[in-house]
């Protein structure tokens, strides 16, 4: 439900999204800001910038992350904060104006609906040009305001990444009334969502999540990372992250894994459904590696690393050596080219590869 007041209390589950954002931007700014002439951070549902208790919202979190790295960045960073509520936008504008900003950034606070403002920005760009490398955060109240057609336009940029809070409770709660049908079709970019209304429980959730995943890929992304936030046994929301490079997926997963359980909340990965930070079973990663590379012969460490870091697993590349490859080698599940290294159980390999043709079932 959209809050009616300008400021509202910070809900406990929102901390998860903010901490993931903080960790991701700490890596994102140095990576893109070191070689791109201009990068953009776009918050499509920015809110007032803070909560009743003075806690910072996503716009100020993003500005803080930028300040930490600004002296080392070669690029200019453009911040576009969008909120349709005039009072919230004005509150955010005052916060931004009163803050210290490095010289190599521009900040605009727009009082507008995200779709209207972003469409105008894209329409104003010269023919044939594309959006600068951008991180787009979409955290709407409900299911309206972030249509798949617009996401598709954003994804035409080769380095656009989109961080989406997907509020499944709204879908699970409402039925196919005329007021519901239009935003659902816009959200998905198709009316295939109707096929899921007759489903129940886990099957229904899986249908709607899988459909959104497919539509993001159809819109132009290559990797879709999804983690679900649970309060004990209740699904609160899902995070979808769309990126065109496996390293973007890897960095996002690292950010999510850094967010320890807070209170009764924890993330579950989309592939294995385990509570990622509670009891970690790295057997899922080992099994995924065996299944992916079985009978492939010698493969390079870089190929294995890319698979682990991509959206094909819930794990990230930092888990690979100590929690997967070394244990698998000790158990005789993989064979390593002895000429590629000086010591056993050391990765990456200098010239050779980890081979899965010796993998046991």
Residue 302 shares a structural domain with residue 343: yes
Question: Among the ranges 5-9, 89-93, 100-104, 254-258, which has the highest mean pLDDT value?
Answer: 89-93
Q: What is the CATH number of the domain that holds 141?
A: 3.40.50.150
User: b/e per residue, 4-15, with b = 16+ CB within 10 A?
Assistant: eebbeebeebbe
- pLDDT tens digit string along 200-213? 999 999 999 999 99
How far is the first Cα of the chain from the last one, in angstroms, to the nearest whole number? 50
Alpha-helix residue ranges (DSSP H) falling in the chain: 14-33, 58-69, 86-98, 114-123, 148-154, 168-173, 178-188, 201-219, 246-258, 283-293, 301-309, 320, 326-330
pLDDT of the residue at 334: 87
Among all chains, which residue has been given the structure tokens 């459909």? 211
Question: Pick the residue with more confidence: 67 or 346?
Answer: 67
Question: Pick the residue with more confidence: 101 or 21?
Answer: 21
Q: How many CA atoms lie within 13 A of 83 on its CB side?
A: 24
Residue 254 shares a structural domain with residue 297: no
| Average pLDDT of the chain, as a whole number | 88
Q: Is 106 inside a domain boundary?
A: yes
- pLDDT tens digit string along 12-22? 888 888 999 99
Q: Which of 269, 295, 330 is the last residue of a domain?
A: 269
Residue 167 shares a structural domain with residue 294: no
Question: Pick the residue with more confidence: 195 or 276?
Answer: 195
pLDDT of the residue at 274: 63
159 pLDDT exceeds 70?
yes
pLDDT of the residue at 186: 96
Question: Pick the residue with more confidence: 358 or 333?
Answer: 333
Total of domains in the chain = 2
In this structure, the number of other CB atoms found within 10 A of the CB of residue 274 comes to 16
pLDDT bucket at 278, cuts 50 / 70 / 90:
low
Q: Is 361 inside a domain boundary?
A: no
Residue 197 shares a structural domain with residue 63: yes
Q: How much is the average pLDDT of 337-353?
A: 62
Q: Is 2 inside a domain boundary?
A: no
Q: Are 63 and 55 in contact (CB under 8 A)?
A: no
pLDDT of the residue at 360: 31
Q: Which of 269, 299, 330 is the last residue of a domain?
A: 269
pLDDT bucket at 277, cuts 50 / 70 / 90:
low
Residue 201 shares a structural domain with residue 258: yes
- pLDDT tens digit string along 171-192? 887 766 777 899 999 999 999 9
pLDDT of the residue at 273: 72
pLDDT bucket at 348, cuts 50 / 70 / 90:
low
pLDDT of the residue at 176: 60
Q: Is 5 inside a domain boundary?
A: no
Residue 55 shares a structural domain with residue 118: yes
Residue 303 shares a structural domain with residue 250: no
pLDDT of the residue at 41: 96
Burial classification of residue 2, based on how many CB atoms lie within 10 Å of its CB (0-12 exposed, 13-18 middle, 19 or more buried):
exposed
Q: How much is the pTM?
A: 0.91
Residue 24 shares a structural domain with residue 79: yes
pLDDT bucket at 82, cuts 50 / 70 / 90:
very high
Residue 192 shares a structural domain with residue 162: yes
350 pLDDT exceeds 70?
no
Residue 83 shares a structural domain with residue 106: yes
361 pLDDT exceeds 50?
no
Residue 55 shares a structural domain with residue 201: yes
Q: How much is the average pLDDT of 141-162?
A: 93
Q: Which of 269, 294, 326 is the last residue of a domain?
A: 269
341 pLDDT exceeds 80?
no
pLDDT bucket at 283, cuts 50 / 70 / 90:
very high
Question: Pick the residue with more confidence: 262 or 88?
Answer: 88
Q: Is 115 inside a domain boundary?
A: yes
User: b/e per residue, 191-207, with b = 16+ CB within 10 A?
Assistant: eebeebeeeeeeebbeb
Q: Is 187 inside a domain boundary?
A: yes
Q: Is 4 inside a domain boundary?
A: no
Q: Which residues form the domain of 351?
A: 283-355
Residue 68 shares a structural domain with residue 174: yes
Helix count and strand count (H, E) for the chain: 13, 11
Q: Is 113 inside a domain boundary?
A: yes
In this structure, the number of other CB atoms found within 10 A of the CB of residue 349 comes to 18
């Amino acid at each position: 439900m959209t809050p009616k007041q300008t400021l509202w209390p910070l809900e406990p589950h929102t901390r998860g999204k903010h901490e993931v954002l903080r960790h991701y931007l700490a890596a994102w700014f140095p990576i893109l800001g070191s070689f791109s002439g201009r990068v953009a951070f776009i918050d499509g549902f920015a809110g007032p910038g803070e909560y009743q208790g003075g806690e910072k919202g996503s716009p100020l979190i993003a500005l803080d992350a930028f300040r930490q790295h600004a002296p080392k960045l070669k690029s200019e960073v453009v911040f576009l904060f969008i909120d349709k509520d005039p009072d919230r936008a004005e509150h955010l504008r005052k916060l931004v104006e009163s803050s210290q900003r490095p010289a190599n950034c521009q900040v605009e606070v727009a009082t507008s609906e995200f779709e209207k403002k972003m469409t105008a920005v894209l329409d104003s760009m010269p023919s044939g040009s594309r959006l600068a490398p951008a991180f787009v955060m979409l955290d709407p109240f409900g299911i309206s305001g972030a249509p798949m057609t617009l996401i598709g336009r954003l994804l035409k940029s080769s380095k656009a990444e989109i961080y989406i809070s997907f509020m499944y409770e709204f879908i699970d709660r409402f039925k196919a009334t005329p007021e519901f049908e239009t935003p659902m079709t816009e959200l998905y970019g198709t009316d295939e969502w109707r096929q899921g209304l007759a489903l129940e429980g886990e099957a229904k959730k899986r249908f709607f999540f899988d459909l959104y995943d497919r539509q993001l890929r159809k819109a132009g992304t290559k990797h879709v990372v999804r983690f679900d936030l649970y309060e004990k046994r209740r699904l609160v929301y899902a995070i979808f992250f769309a990126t065109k490079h496996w390293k973007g997926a890897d960095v996002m997963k690292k950010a999510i894994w850094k967010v320890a359980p807070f209170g009764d909340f924890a993330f579950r990965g989309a592939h294995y459904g385990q509570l990622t930070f509670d009891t970690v079973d790295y057997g899922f990663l080992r099994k995924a590696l065996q299944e992916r590379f079985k009978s492939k012969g010698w493969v390079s460490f870089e190929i294995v690393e890319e698979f682990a870091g991509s959206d094909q697993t819930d794990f990230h590349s930092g888990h690979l050596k100590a929690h997967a490859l070394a244990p698998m080698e000790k158990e005789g599940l993989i064979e390593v080219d002895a000429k590629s290294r000086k010591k056993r159980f050391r990765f990456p390999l200098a010239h050779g590869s980890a081979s899965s043709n010796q993998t046991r079932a």
